[in-house]
C-alpha cells in the first residue's frame, strides 16, 4: 500500500544542528507503523539525497531512533546559518519535501 509521510507521522520538522548542519525528524504516530517503516527502510541516504537534490556524502547521519519512533537525518547545510544568501537562519523551513514523500509498504 502507498503512504505519504504526512499521513503516518505526528511530527515532520527541520531545525539547525549548529550553524553548518540541518537535522530532520520524522516521528511516527504509532510503534507498529514505525517498526514496519524501519524494517522496510523507507528512507535511505539514496532516496533522501535524491529528494533534496544533494550528494549522499552531504548526509552526515541517518538513524532509525527506536525510543522516539523516529527517523533522524543530519545533513551539511548548503549555506551556513546567517551567511549572506541564507534564507532560513533557523533551518525550520526545510522539511517541506518530506511532507509529500511517498513510499510503499507491504500489507
Mean pLDDT of the chain: 94
What domains lie within the chain, and their CATH numbers? 2-104 (3.30.70)
CA distance 83 to 86: 6
Q: If you average pLDDT over residues 8-13, what whole number do you get? A: 96
Residue 75 buriedness (CB in 10 A; 0-12 / 13-18 / 19+): buried
pLDDT value at position 3? 94
Q: Is the pLDDT confidence value at 89 over 80?
A: yes
- CA dihedral (5, 11, 15, 21) in degrees, to 10, reads -50
Contact 38, 26 (CB under 8 A): no
Amino acid at each position: 500500500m502507498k503512504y505519504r509521510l504526512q499521513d503516518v507521522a505526528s511530527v515532520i520538522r527541520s531545525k539547525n544542528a549548529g550553524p553548518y548542519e540541518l537535522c530532520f525528524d520524522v516521528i511516527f504516530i504509532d510503534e507498529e507503523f514505525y517498526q514496519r517503516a524501519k524494517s522496510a527502510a523507507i528512507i535511505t541516504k539514496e532516496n533522501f539525497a535524491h529528494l533534496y537534490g544533494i550528494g549522499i556524502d552531504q548526509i552526515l547521519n541517518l538513524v532509525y531512533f527506536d525510543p522516539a519512533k523516529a527517523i533522524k537525518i543530519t545533513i551539511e547545510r548548503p549555506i551556513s546559518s546567517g551567511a549572506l544568501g541564507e534564507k532560513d537562519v533557523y533551518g525550520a523551513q526545510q522539511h517541506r519535501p518530506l511532507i509529500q514523500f511517498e513510499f510503499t509498504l507491504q500489507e
